[in-house]
Amino acid sequence: MSLDKKTILNYICCPICKSDVSQTGTRLTCKTCGKIFTVSNGYVRMMSDSTNDIKLSIRKWDELYKKQFDDQTFYQDFKVYKERYFDSVYSQIKLEKKLSKNSIYLEIGCGPFFIGQLIANECKMIVGVDFCPHALMIAKKMLDEKSIKNYLLIQADILALPVKSNTVDLIYGGGVIEHFNDTKKCLSELYRVTKQGGVSINTVPCLNIGSLTYRQVWGNIPNFPVLRQFAEFIHIHILRGKHMVFGYELSFLPSHLTKLHTEAKFRKTTVKNFEIEPEFNFIPKTMRAPFVYLAKKSPLFWPMIKVSAFK
């Protein structure tokens, strides 16, 4: 897609002061604070200053996406996602909010934007936000190859979304908000951009026996007093992020997620098991069956939960 001026100005605001922006060529200028941003490689670049937890996550994730981009493995990844996961994920999204031809869909931490590619024909506009440039480069390449026109890609920090207030019907984040130290600020931004009657849906790691045991293999931080500080000290300060393969990552109790969304002013919040086929590739194949069973059936071992918040 050629990023036309109308598309940009209809949906984008300054991530810092939330004012409108003006556009001259590939340059965007905030009308209030004067901050300058650019359009480059087919996406809008609107990153603000990042905290250390975000810098760690960007470094870890962009290494992964750069490798996928260089090796062109994203085509096979898309095929696997479409065949194995999409139907289950999208059916759970539609339980909370169905899209229409007038819907604006925003995916935070969109990565290569696989879901966006598969539902573009159901929406007026699909908007993908990610802080990794190589993820957006993959997304643009695939969207253009499919001749999808109704998209907007933005490189931005979710804590400072450059999206106008009250514009989005459905927000989806698949394993995203747990990568931010300041969860409350993240949810406040999601509330701001959601339309009245819209919904924000996020999947996050569940704080349970699973997160306190096997999820430590990839450096999960239990979001619970004392446990959180201890895990951060070990994984960040002692091990220097060695095992944090997904960057900074929190796990949450369902009750805490409900409380955080209420504080962000969402009127109603539900938390359920996120039903997806669990993978335990680090466990020998002959021993996986009982772990898979527990992950599917027991709240004590659920890998992920889905939180749906209604405005």
Per-residue pLDDT tens over the stretch 1-16: 445 667 778 899 999 9
Choose among 197, 202, 203, 204: nearest CA to 221: 204
Q: Convert the pLDDT of each residue in 249-287 to its tens digit.
A: 899 999 999 999 999 999 999 999 999 877 777 677 777
Measured between alpha carbons, how far is 135 from 112 in angstroms, rounded to an integer? 5
Q: Which amino acid is at 31?
A: K
Confidence at residue 198, expressed as pLDDT on a 0 to 100 scale: 98
Q: Per CATH, the architecture of 42-310 is what?
A: 3-Layer(aba) Sandwich (3.40)
For residue 210, which amino acid is it? Answer: G
Q: DSSP letters along 63-126, please?
A: HHHHHHHHHTTHHHHHHHHHHHTHHHHHHHHHTT----TT-EEEEET-TT-HHHHHHGGGSSEE
d(CA 81, CA 115): 9
Q: What is the pLDDT of residues 96-125, one digit of tens each?
A: 999 999 999 999 999 999 999 999 999 999
* Alpha carbon 244 to its chain's center: 17
Provide the token pair at 259.
């409380």
Is 296's pLDDT higher than 90?
A: no
pTM as predicted:
0.89
**What does the domain layout of the chain look like in residue ranges?**
42-310
